[in-house]
A and B are shown apart, each in its own frame.
Chain A
Amino acid sequence: MFDRDTWQEILATIRKHKLRTALTALGVFWGIFMLIFMLGMGEGLRNAVFRDFGSRAKNVMYVWSSPTSKPYRGFQPGRVPRLNLDDITYLDENVDGIDYIAPRTTISGSISYNENVESYNIRGELSDMITVEGYKVYKGRYIQPSDIEESRKVIVIGKRVAEVLFGKGEWDKAIGKYITANGVEFQVVGIFGPEFLKPWTQEDLEATVIPLTTMHRAFGTGGQIHYFAVSALPQYKVSDIENDVKSILQQRHSVSPQDPRGIGGFNLEKEFDKITGLFNSISVFLWIVGIGTLIAGVIGVSNIMMIVVKERTKEIGIRKALGATPGVIIRSILTESIVITLISGYLGLLAGTLLIGSIDYIMEYNEINVQMFYNPEVSLQVGIGALLILIISGTIAGFIPGMMAAKVNPVLALKDE
């Protein structure tokens, strides 16, 4: 199919009609260029939004308790159920699909090192909260399962806490030192902070974390937890287990199943899905618009190939008289149309990718930070998809003219005027 004669003919027709071929190619070039450019910019929007989610777990819901609003089993409304560690153990054992549960109890505390005394919140946690929130550990480590089992007196402190207690440039010296929290001595094992600094993540810099078991023992919080995060296993959606978790807690704490309050929760996965859905529909929309533009270009190619066939009727007649089969003739027209679409489309793909790449590069190089736009990119799949579309559209563009060519009647084509 791609032997020298085929190329010779394609080059001959292109050379004969440079302007016409160039204008046709421009249509396809523009179509692919717009498709790639729009998808790349859309990706920039998406990346900006998902950047804020960071590496935090997405398949997660938060559960807390609040005053009930309905009387139930002899209890008056207005009572606040007290969630405790037993609830966590029970849920972990009785609900299918739970990956882990990360509870947190927060008390206010006064933290001191030598003569420095500051007041910061003390959080009691199990080991998984770092996975849920995606914290960054600057130095040392976070709370570990063995800390919890042995109720060790270890503490992880926010970076700002370390800066205040140990001095601005010396924050990393805190590791291994002993500090006092509410009168109990703890050894500092890690320094942490939020993944991204935002107004609403500042408090993570100013918090301290100790094992929940240690907290219950040392500070008399009596097994109580304030809220917890539940993460579902990868093959489950947290929405699947949301109802189970809630109804078990309602039952354990005598909250009416009809009560919208009492046991509260926030399903992050649902919100995350909404945003994902939004961006998926934006990308579908962009594909439709882009492919629409491309179709206009392809129709242009088809038109030109039609003219090419008309112009070459005599030549096609000669070829048929010399023994060219309809298949050979269709193939030569198809090849020509695919070559034109592929080359111009490839250039469009290249130009679009280059433009998106340079926007990304310029933004990164000059550290331009736009709220709703970050790291525009063209994925390999989009590139391959675009190439496939080009080959398919080139074939479609060449097909009708090719059929026309195959139907040329040699007797009429060779009639001497």
Chain B
Amino acid sequence: MIQLRNIKKAYKTEFTSLQVLKGIDLIIEEGEFVSIMGSSGSGKSTLLNILGILDDYDEGTYTLAGELMKNLSEKQAAYYRNRFIGFVFQSFNLLNFKTAVENVALPLYYQKVNRDQRLEKAMHYLEMVGLKDWSDHHPNQLSGGQQQRVAIARAMVTEPKVLLADEPTGALDSTTSHEVMNLFQEIHQNGKTVVLVTHEQDIAEKTERIINIQDGLILNSNE
């Protein structure tokens, strides 16, 4: 599903050049449940941004579902982000002026799906995360755990190839963290490829494979 070969990325300023990724080789198969671990500054967020086509890379090749992700125009990048990838963020990143169901439906808006179909599909995914009764609530009326579940529904609504989660439990207490991880587990069991970035060992241990990253290189990838 995901194939990285010798990915290098440097952040350049006028005077300095900071090499963040120094040659990443990584293969993630379809249906895998993987976590990327590393301390801050290790390059794990940059790696996730590249996987999510939010950021570009200087060298190497990144193939996602058989398509080479290189030198994409803004429009192409937007297309792949919308069709191939579902994002879950640490701080949920829901739009406050939209209701839960409208938030979930938003990615479909960019696929030009009509409103009724959008809301119907969004409702289905809200039901999947157990928030059907909360569909017309605004994000500020929901708890953190509920918000993150709405965000997961939003990531799933386009039926992406890969679900990318950036510290999805970072803003949650341990009980809700547990619930959210169970939800990821469930999604994984339904055959979805899930990649999450975390620095919490107990969260990472719930996944099938932990990829440790340090100073821009992969240390090991224990099965």
Contacts and interface: CB of A to CB of B under 8 A. Distances in A.
Interface of A: 3-5, 8-9, 12, 16, 314-315, 318-328, 406, 410-411, 414, 416
Interface stretch (B48-56, B125-133, B174-182, B185-193): B48-56
Contacts of A318: 93, 95
A324 B74 CA distance: 10
B74 A326 contact: yes
A81 to B, nearest CB: 83
A327 B75 contact: yes
Given A3-B115, A12-B97, A318-B95, A325 B49 contact: no
B97 A321 contact: no
Complex A-B, nearest 4 residue pairs according to Cβ-Cβ distance, in ascending order: A323-B82, A12-B97, A325-B78, A323-B110
Contacts of B158: 323
Interface string B61-79: 0000000000000110011
Contact of A322 (B87, B91, B115): B87
Contacts, number: 63
A326 B77 CA distance: 10
Contacts of A314: 93
18 contacts: A3-B115, A5-B102, A8-B97, A12-B97, A318-B93, A318-B95, A320-B54, A320-B78, A321-B87, A322-B82, A322-B110, A323-B110, A324-B78, A325-B78, A325-B110, A414-B89, A414-B93, A416-B91
B154 interface: yes
Given A314-B93, A323-B111, A327-B75, 11 more contacts: A8-B97, A320-B54, A321-B81, A322-B81, A322-B87, A322-B106, A322-B110, A323-B78, A324-B78, A325-B75, A414-B54
Contacts of A5: 102, 109, 115
B51 to A, nearest CB: 12
A168 B115 CA distance: 80
A314 B78 CA distance: 16
Nearest to A410: B54
Contacts of B98: 8
Contacts of B97: 8-9, 12, 16
A12 B49 CA distance: 30
B199 interface: no
B38 interface: no
A406 B78 CA distance: 12
B206 interface: no
Contacts of B145: none
B214 interface: no
A326 B75 contact: yes
B200 to A, nearest CB: 16
A323 B81 contact: yes
Task: Specify which of A3, A16, A321, A410 lies most central, judged by the most chain B CB atoms within 10 Å of its CB.
Answer: A321
Contact of A324 (B54, B102, B110, B115): B110
Contact of B110 (A3, A12, A328, A410): A328
Nearest to B97: A12
B61 to A, nearest CB: 20
B209 interface: no
B107 A322 contact: yes
